[in-house]
Amino acid sequence: KKEQEEQQKKDEIEKAKQAKKKQLEDMQLKQQQVVPEEVDDIGQDPKSVYLKLIGIFDIAAMDSNGKSDPYIKVFFDGNQIGKTKKVGNTLNAEYNEEFKFDFDPKTTNARRILLELWDHDTFSDDDQIGKVELRLKNYLNVKKTDQTKFIGADRNVGKDDVGTLDFELEVKSKDQKGPSPQVVVAERKIKQKQIQQQVEEPSSSSTGQVAQRKTKQAITTQQVVPEEIDDIGKEPKSVYLKLIGIFDIAAMDSNGKSDPYIKVFFDGKQIGKTKKVKNALNAEYNEEFKFDFDPKTTNARRILLELWDYDTIGDNDQIGKVELRLKNYLNVKKTDQTKFIGADQNVGKDDVGTLDFELQVKNK
């Protein structure tokens, strides 16, 4: 009789598991369906989709150790396209995994990619942390590096941020050859305001102090007003930039210090970023950035630098920004100096850090 009772309990547990699994599957399919009257117009020609999941940070903790073992599932039109690797014991995970698929808009109403964030469990069922949908219309014929937040699912229902995802997405017609007509880097919509043109004229010289590296990605947009385009010739160019160091940084933390790092942008794309330096108002980087561009295919003529303060718990804070005008460094390597002007909570301040750098622009 005891054995029968134990077996009955096991059967009930298994039945509950299966019911939960079926409920999750039904939910996945339901989430992916698009109501006909809401179907986005993305044209009738067959489409190719490219998705790169770069990484995720600030993940909700699901395990007793205050961590999670996150991975992401990718769905389209009710089908699982794939999933990322699992990363153990972390609240930040880097993937850099690509997913590609084709579909015909004439045979399905699906117009969104569904992403599900899961926590892997070794001895029991995996737990869903959150979900988010990516609307394909927003990435039609343009490759964007973007950012979005997962909203809570299952026991996290009601939470509107259980992880922030950095990703790259492009949707294009299958017969479209070569690169997309444009490359846009999307603005992070949490604390950043759109960058407006600010031109800093450099002066000259040196100095700085120590450092370390950073993860989260918050991306912003650089625009060049057509009538301000500098004449730097039509030949393809190579750009060399060395960020030597920065001093007199505005204090952003309660201890009177900052954890500074610098992001480098050109033509709306993030070229790279420096390591971060903890608890400092002076930071030494000595980091080099190199890239090429064709003046005939872009109006961009300035490098945008953003100075950021890294925060372990909350969102990172932008301290300031400055632009380097390429024309001033054409066919000559200069060691120079410029000041960051305040951004976000520092708007109105005309000196939130002084940068020593080296820059050269030359024909390829």
Question: Of 154, 185, 216, which residue sits at a domain end?
Answer: 185
pLDDT given for residue 13 in this prediction: 77
C-alpha closest to that of 358 among 197, 208, 195: 208
Tokens of 184: 């846009």
Q: Which residues contact 169 (CB under 8 A, 6 or more apart)?
A: 49, 50, 51, 52, 113, 134, 139, 143, 144, 146
Please check whether residues 239 and 337 belong to one and the same domain: yes
pLDDT in tens for each of the 364 residues of the chain? 777 778 887 788 777 777 766 666 665 555 444 434 456 788 889 999 999 999 999 999 998 899 999 999 999 999 999 999 999 999 999 999 999 999 999 999 899 999 999 999 988 889 999 999 999 998 998 888 899 999 998 888 888 889 999 999 999 988 654 444 333 333 333 333 333 333 333 333 333 333 333 333 333 333 333 334 678 888 999 999 999 999 999 999 888 899 999 999 999 899 999 999 999 999 999 999 999 999 999 889 999 999 999 988 778 899 999 999 998 899 888 999 999 999 888 888 888 999 999 999 999 8
Q: Are residues 235 and 177 in the same domain?
A: no
What string of DSSP letters covers 116-162? EEEE--SSS--EEEEEEEEEGGGGBT-EEEEEEEPEE-GGGTT-S-S
Q: What is the pLDDT of residue 203?
A: 37
Within this chain, do residues 118 and 232 fall inside the same structural domain, yes or no? no
Residue with tokens 């850090």: 353
Instruction: Report yes or no on 211 lying in a domain.
Output: no
> Does residue 250 sit in the same domain as residue 170?
no
Q: How far apart are CA 97 and CA 81, in angstroms?
A: 13
Residue 88 inside a domain? The answer is yes
Q: Is residue 218 domain-resident?
A: no
Residues 234, 166 within the same domain: no
List the CATH number of the domain containing 240: 2.60.40.150
Q: Does residue 201 form part of some domain?
A: no
| Per-residue model confidence (pLDDT) at position 196 | 37
Query: pLDDT value at position 258?
Result: 93
Q: Are residues 36 and 166 in the same domain?
A: yes
Examine residue 208 and state whether it is found in any structural domain, yes or no: no
Specify whether 180 is located in the same domain as 230. no
Q: Is residue 230 part of a domain?
A: yes
Instruction: Name the residue range of residue 271's domain.
Output: 226-363
Whether residue 204 is contained in a domain is answered as no
| 56 and 157 inside one domain | yes
Do the domain assignments include residue 202?
no
Q: What is the pLDDT of residue 77?
A: 92
Domain tally for the chain?
A: 2
Token pair listed for 5: 């009772």
Average pLDDT of the chain is 81
Q: Tell me, what's the pLDDT at 70?
A: 95
Q: pTM for this structure?
A: 0.43
